[in-house]
Amino acid sequence: MLNWNASSGATRYYVYMGTKSGGESATALGYVTSPGAEVTGLSTYTTYYFTVKAYDSKGYSAASNQASAETK
């Protein structure tokens, strides 16, 4: 489960993922309307890297700091 703090005024959060540090996809996995997302279908013993962009009436925020997690 990915969790992050809410961004004031955000109506959507777009989640990006990759398997190399700094290599998150340019295409979002999808979006959620509240902070937090469950990502499924991951390979075992793989490190994944994630960033999130908030979206509000002004458009997209900059990408969040990168987070990583290793599956078992």
Q: First and final CA of the chain: distance in angstroms?
A: 14
Q: How confident is the model at residue 36 (pLDDT cuts 50, 70, 90)?
A: very high
Domains and CATH numbers, the chain: 12-70 (2.60.40.10)
Digit-coded pLDDT (tens) for 51-67: 999 999 999 999 999 99
pLDDT-derived band at 18 (thresholds 50, 70, 90) equals very high
Instruction: Decide: 10 and 43 in contact? Cβ < 8 Å.
Output: no
DSSP for 3-58 reads -----TT--EEEEEEESSTT---SS-SEEESSS-B---SPPTT-EEEEEEEEEETT
Q: How far apart are CA 69 and CA 45, in angstroms?
A: 10
